[in-house]
Each structure stands twice: as structure tokens, then as C-alpha cells.
Amino acid sequence: MTCTPGICKGPKMGTPEISSAGNGDISLSLRHTGNAIVLTIRGDIDLETAPLFRRHLHTARDIADPHRSLLIDLRDVRFFNSSGIAELITVHEHCRKRGVDLIILADGPAVLRPLQVTGLAEVFDIRSSFDAAPDAGLQG
């Protein structure tokens, strides 16, 4: 897998590589580890940062193998609005159709509250830690 700031391309298997990007309000990193692709986001997901979030989310979605996991780590997200929710819905549908297990890691009110209010907390597989996602072959 070849990664440059903002995008990863290439084979789905092999050694873990990192792609990271940021603009001051958000930082994102993408890695392949265990049985999963992990996209970690820190900062704010809003109208301004949504394009960068979308690009990384779609890259992670596209390289995730069927019958494996795509983990979206939102534990360090401070602000999460409808822009982020819309992207998660799109990726959830794509993963469901391809047989990719989508797991959202979230433990704070900035992410959990909007998902609860919209009813999406009942739709998404939300876990509080990597340890709560043993099927993904991760720890941390």
C-alpha cells in the first residue's frame, strides 16, 4: 500500500503503512493492522473539515476487505456535526453491501450524543475501545 498525505493506494495486504493529514482543526491517520483497516480521527468534524474526513473515510472503505473490519476511531473527536453523520451513513451502507464489518470506536458525548439523538447509535456497531473489538484482532 502506498500512502501519501490524504490518500492510500495499492495492495490491500502487506505491512502496515500510515497515511496522515491535518489542517489544524482535524488530524487523520489510516493504518492496516490485524484484521482491520483503522482510521483514527482527532479534532473537529464539521463543514470545514468534512472534505478531508470524507476523503480518508472513502479511502479506508475502498481498501477494506470483505469479511474483515473497518474501524473508525472517533474517541478523540471534540465536535461532530451532521457532516460527519452523513459520511458515516454513506460508509455504513457501502460496507454492509460489501460484507465489511464497520465498527465505530467512540466514548465521549461529542460523538455519542448526536448518534443517540438521531437513532444511529442503534444502527451502528459502536464500541468504547479496541479491547471491545476483539474480532478485529487489535488491542490498544
- The structure's pTM equals 0.80
Distance CA 20, CA 29 (A): 4
1, 48, 73, 111 from 117: Cα distances, Å: 38, 23, 20, 10
pLDDT on residue 25: 83
State the Cα–Cα distance between residues 134 and 120, nearest whole angstrom: 22
Per residue in 53-102, pLDDT (tens digit) is 999 999 999 999 888 899 999 999 999 999 999 999 999 999 999 999 99
pLDDT-based confidence at residue 50 (cuts at 50, 70, 90):
very high
Cβ-proximal residues to 7 (8 Å cutoff; 6+ apart), any chain:
19, 55, 59
Work out the mean pLDDT of the chain and round it to a whole number.
83
Burial class (CB in 10 A: 0-12, 13-18, 19+), 127: middle
Sorted by where each starts, the structural domains of the chain and their CATH numbers stand as 18-132 (3.30.750.24)
